[in-house]
A and B are shown apart, each in its own frame.
Chain A
Amino acid sequence: MLRRAGKYTGVFRITLMNNLAYIQDVALNSIFMLVVIFVFVALWKTTYSVTGEQSLGGFTLQQTIWYLVMTETITMSSPRITTRIDAEVKGGDLAYSLNRPYSYVGFQYASFMGEAAVRFFINLAVGGLVAGLSVGFPAGGALEAAQATASRVTGATGAVGVAGVAGTAHLLAVVSASALTILMAMALYFTSMMALGLLAFWVEDATALFLVYERSMWILGGLLLPLSLFPAAIRRVAEVLPFRFIINGPAQLAVKYAAGDFWRVLAGQATWLAVTVVVLALVYRAGVKRVNINGG
């Protein structure tokens, strides 16, 4: 069992090393992140200023900007697995992956996570730096929230000490809930995109399907706007689709953590993950029989 798991941790590790080998290139790609967050900061500062509101859709300016940092980090860090699988199926690289004693899907997942890990931390660092310098860092906000709660409970005296403990606990809850839901989001992204990529066994080019899926995910998943700012009808649709569990759910938890929301997001992710895993297994099982490697 351990040896089996070791295969996939080995793939994760080597992909991580492979990406670290040209970390400069990965870092250069994050310039886009820098520009995007800079534009968002300018846009939302103006919006909040013009409306004169402290909160829009339940989000303060700082929360909105950090929400966008998280959504952009999640989407920009997810490797384009569909394009890769499509190319492997057409180009014949599949020949080396299929005749190894491991699960092809497991191999791809470990490789996907290895690449995503490097990108995630670089994108988060770059986006977070721009956001932090522009609207402040959210940890301060979390501490203030905890302090306020503690004041109500204990009165003014001793509130600082209690708030310190409560703040740390709150921060831990936010970080662990975010980490878990981001990992689930990545798994959900991977399974759905991999299933789309495997359609290359049937269609000549799976890229078009990937683009439709990706754009739908961006729009309905809350990449550019928290779901609470959507018109009610669209929000109702978006809330039941898997996209929000990939982008909106984990990003919102990171900036506006609530235990109830966490369990709701996690349950939604688990449900959709179960669906996409079954779809992926069916598509893979049927598709692998149709492998038609070029040059064969």
Chain B
Amino acid sequence: MMKTPRETGACAMAAIILTDLRKDFLAKEKEPGLLGSMKAAFAPHYRKVEAVRGISFSVDQGEVLAFIGPNGAGKSTTIKMLTGILYPSGGDATVLGLRPWVDRQRLAFQIGSVFGQKSQLWYHLPAADTFDLLARVYELPTAEYRQRRDRMVDLFDIGEFLKTPVRKLSLGQRMRCEIAASLLHRPSVLFLDEPTIGLDVVAKQQIRDLIRAMNREEGVTVFLTSHDAGDIERLCKRVIIINHGQVVMDAGVNTLRHNYLHNKVIDLKLAAPVADDYAFPLAGVTVVKARGYGLKLEVDTAVAPMERVLGLVVEGLRVADIAITDPPVESIIKTIYEQGVPAELREDAAPEAGWTESATGDALC
């Protein structure tokens, strides 16, 4: 039986509370072929799609929460309901005590949002112009705005290209400007929807450092969706996994790491060809692919420490290039499904110590 935040005792410290939140869409369906098109034109058939099926949880003020799931799981729909863009089909939610779809404009002053695949910056103009506009939109007094802008420029290290048209910025530079723009009005809650999508390793790390800095220095509550396990591992203490519109797991990232994030993928480009039947001389390392000059290994770091694996790689192979990546979120979710969610990690189980005590324990309310 799913517990509502009220039942679990969510208190005044909660920045976000969802109670049995639901969203249905009607999707038009059409049979294939010309006949199907004609039928659909005269008697359209709609199918009800339950994008979000009654999810309940709360997020504390100052918490950094990873809200993850595969494509179509309902993540973005949930964010859009929490930012007031979408009306829910049922249930309830409050952000900073306001119901987003009712008090959208009032809430807008207190939240920031970055949608990784959409830009809020004016494409042909320098980011500085968008900043000036946002200062007006959020009714910031001039002196306060300038002080805040200068701080953001320093923190995000964007002074060098602040006056360059956005179209000429790299994706990493643009994303730094996007996040700085969303923080100009000092929001209490920041919604980040895939903020590192498409970025290279260095740019991803920069973005993560900045988000962490804002959370630490200003106590901004961060609600993050991402497909990148690295974002979750390096930024969040708590993770909620959603699939088919339902919460599958609600746990601490340490627990997730211990149970599911112990695999790493090593991509090697070699200076000499490798045999197709190459076997790595250490337990816990699986050869995913060995062909020509390419070798891909999957390492279970719980069994084979990364330091030892890298030592053996350098000793036994002539390495031209190397990349170490986290498994994609999809593969973590697949593992969760294959292995099953341990009883203590299930969404309706007693929450893990640390992040959840403040959300559920009366002592901290």
Contacts and interface: CB of A to CB of B under 8 A. Distances in A.
A94 interface: yes
Interface string B67-111: 000000000110010011111000000000000000011111101
A199 to B, nearest CB: 16
A55 to B, nearest CB: 47
Contact of B104 (A22, A98, A293): A98
A17 B125 contact: yes
B28 to A, nearest CB: 8
Contacts of A102: 105, 137
B47 interface: no
Contacts of A292: 25, 86
A296 B51 contact: yes
B4 interface: no
Nearest to A101: B108
Overall SS of chain B's interface: mixed
A18 B137 CA distance: 17
B176 to A, nearest CB: 17
A21 B122 CA distance: 11
B85 A101 contact: no
Interface string A76-105: 000000000000000011111011111000
A10 B137 contact: yes
Contact of A293 (B85, B111, B113, B125): B85
Contacts of A99: 83-85, 104, 107-108, 111, 113
Interface residues of B, number: 36
Given A99-B108, A101-B108, A7 B86 contact: no
Contacts of A95: 80, 83, 85, 113, 115, 118
Nearest to A5: B136
B324 interface: no
B218 interface: no
B278 interface: no
Given A6-B136, A102-B137, A96 B115 contact: yes
Interface stretch (B126-134, B206-214, B298-306, B346-354): B126-134
B76 A14 contact: no
B339 to A, nearest CB: 30
Nearest to A11: B133
A40 to B, nearest CB: 33
A16 to B, nearest CB: 11
A92 B118 contact: yes
A98 B77 CA distance: 14
A22 B133 CA distance: 19
B48 interface: no
10 contacts: A6-B139, A7-B139, A14-B125, A17-B129, A95-B85, A96-B115, A99-B84, A101-B138, A291-B86, A293-B76
Interface of A: 3-4, 6-7, 9-11, 13-14, 17-18, 21-22, 92-96, 98-102, 204, 289, 291-293, 295-296
CB-based closest 9 A-B pairs: A10-B136, A21-B124, A101-B108, A296-B77, A99-B83, A3-B139, A296-B76, A98-B85, A6-B136
